[in-house]
Every structure is written in C-alpha cells, then in structure tokens.
Amino acid sequence: MTASRQVAPARSAAPSAPSGPSAPSATATAPWDELPARIRARGLRWTPQRRILLEVLSRSEGHVTGAELVERCRAADPSTVPSTVYRTLDVLEELGIVQHAHGADGREEFHVLPVSQHGHLHCLGCHQSWEISSDEAAALGRVLERERGFAMDLSHLTVSGHCRACGGDG
C-alpha cells in the first residue's frame, strides 16, 4: 500500500455549489513562477520542501485542509514532515499566496490564491460548503462597522446552518 492520497476526509466534503458557482481557478498571471524571487527578495529561502508545497498548491483549487496538503506533499516526497508544511503555509500566508480559515468543525482550511475575499457557508446536515460573497456579507459588515467600529475579516468567516435540502426552509 502506497501513501494513499486520501482527498476527502469524510467530514469536510466540498462538492460543487448548487446555487453559487465557485470561482474557476483563474490562475491569474501564474504567480508561481515569480515566487522564488519574491521569497528571496524578502531574505527568505527557496528550499526543495517549499518547492514541493508550492507545486501541490498550484494544482489545488478551492479549500484544502492542512492535513490534505501534508498528505499530498508526502505523495510527492515521502520524507515530508507536517511541521515544515505548516510553517511554510504560515510564510505563504504572509505573502498572500494562501489564506487560512477554520471550518465549521474547527479544522484548518487553506484557500489558495484568494481571488476575492469570501467567507464560507457550511451545512451541518450534509456537510457541503459554499462560498459567501462579500456582497452577501456586506450587510453584516456594515452593522458591525457602524455600531462597533469592528472591521470584519470576511475570509475568516464560516457560517454554519442548514441548507435548503437539509431543512433550511421552514
């Protein structure tokens, strides 16, 4: 048995969205090529481990859990260790390459190349998830801003509840 590349950990399936289509992974200007330079320009280093993670990320779309990324890196290089992956993800987050959030179950989810700020919707019934556009969350943002001076970070938002199919409608 090889390192089976388990992709969906049974609790965070994120299939196609029924009403809100997901962004088709535009790969805008392929920032992957410039990354080594950007990294070095910051005094950071371009290592084989980082290259592998970047390759994995460049093939990913939507949300990926940390564990999934570790698994995929391990498929590319069995000697991969989790701590390196997570630390590299931290670095990449500072560079704006990924953005992390916490799913409804508290697990970390990474979003690759955040095209636009968006939150997540998670159904407690069927465990599907969808994206919330900034438009939709705008009202909440405005209320918090106006009444509390609180600047919401949409990308970190996960709203749980029940979708139409699972009894969302009365």
Partner DNA sequence: GATCCTATTGCAACGCGTTGCAGTTACGCA
Partner DNA sequence: TGCGTAACTGCAACGCGTTGCAATAGGATC
Out of 7, 15, 27, 87, point to the residue binding DNA (CB under 7 A).
87
Return the sign of the alpha-carbon dihedral for residues 26, 83, 93, 40: negative
Return the sign of the alpha-carbon dihedral for residues 64, 67, 68, 70: positive
4 binds a copy of itself (CB under 8 A): no
In 3D space, the residue among 58, 105, 56 whose CA is nearest the CA of residue 85 turns out to be 56
Residues 15-54: x/- map of binding to a copy of itself (CB under 8 A)? ----xx----------------------------------
128 interface partner picked from a copy of itself, DNA, none, CB below 5 to 8 A per type: none
End-to-end CA distance of the chain: 48
145 interface partner picked from a copy of itself, DNA, none, CB below 5 to 8 A per type: a copy of itself
Residue 103: partners with Cβ closer than 8 Å, 6 or more residues away: 12, 63, 65, 109, 120, 122, 129, 158
Out of 22, 32, 46, 134, point to the residue binding DNA (CB under 7 A).
46
46 interface partner picked from DNA, a copy of itself, none, CB below 5 to 8 A per type: DNA
Do 57 and 27 meet the contact criterion of CB atoms below 8 Å apart?
A: no
Task: Determine the angle formed by the axes of helices 48-58 and 82-94, rounding to 10 degrees.
Answer: 70
Do 110 and 89 meet the contact criterion of CB atoms below 8 Å apart?
A: yes
2 interface partner picked from DNA, a copy of itself, none, CB below 5 to 8 A per type: none
Q: CB 56 → DNA: shortest distance, Å?
A: 13
Chain contacts with DNA (rule: CB under 7 A) = 9, 36, 39-40, 43-50, 65-67, 70, 79-84, 86-88, 91, 106-108
Site for a copy of itself, rule CB under 8 A: 19-20, 102, 104-108, 121, 123-124, 130, 132, 136-137, 139-140, 142-145, 147-153, 156-164, 167-169
